[in-house]
């Protein structure tokens, strides 16, 4: 799955889209995706200017975006203005090595179970075969109330 297909599945856009390519996807089971980490990303202006390190929360967000793609494919849904896919929980997050510009994150996410729009996932982020981070994720698919969906605008829209 290339970036054009990813953008059809996720509502995220620059600067928060954190999945660049999907290598493998098995609906209802697992996904393997890539995030190319570049010095051009705005976060590196401040985290840290003297030693750029990708924030752990952004690594977890990349895993969550891969999980969302897996869910959307599994349940044959697309991201739209009437629904969102929220974080509902993060458990047992562990960070094993720093991630920086020039690294390529391999995002491996497995669907553990899904019930009533809430998915539980196990995620791992690797760099060059080494574990960089891992976490258990809970994500929830929810409809946006009509009044909120009608008033929600993307940045730059009028």
- List the catalytic residues: 47
Give residues with Cβ within 8 angstroms of 143, minimum separation 6.
82, 83
3-state secondary structure of 115: strand
Q: What does the radius of gyration of the chain's CA atoms come to, in whole angstroms?
A: 16
Measured CA angle at 31 (ends 149, 134), to 5 deg: 90
Q: Could you give the strand order of the β-sheet that contains 104-115, starting from the edge strand earlier in sequence?
A: 21-26, 30-36, 104-115, 118-127, 130-143, 83-95
Phi, psi torsion values for 122, nearest 5 degrees: -105, 130
Cβ–Cβ under 8 Å, residues 35 and 17:
no
């Amino acid at each position: 799955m290339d970036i054009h297909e990813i953008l059809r599945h996720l509502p995220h856009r620059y600067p928060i889209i954190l999945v660049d390519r999907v290598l493998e996807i098995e609906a209802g089971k697992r996904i393997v995706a890539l995030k190319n980490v570049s010095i051009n990303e705005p976060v590196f202006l401040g985290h840290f200017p003297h030693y750029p390190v990708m924030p752990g929360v952004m690594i977890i967000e990349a895993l969550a975006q891969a999980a969302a793609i897996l869910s959307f494919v599994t349940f044959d849904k697309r991201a739209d203005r009437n629904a969102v896919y929220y974080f509902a929980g993060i458990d047992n997050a562990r960070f094993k090595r720093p991630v920086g510009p020039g690294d390529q994150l391999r995002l491996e996410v497995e669907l553990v179970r899904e019930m009533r729009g809430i998915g539980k996932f196990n995620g791992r982020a690797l760099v060059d075969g080494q574990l960089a981070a891992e976490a258990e994720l809970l994500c929830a698919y929810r409809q946006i109330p009509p009044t909120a969906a009608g008033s929600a605008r993307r940045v730059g829209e009028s």
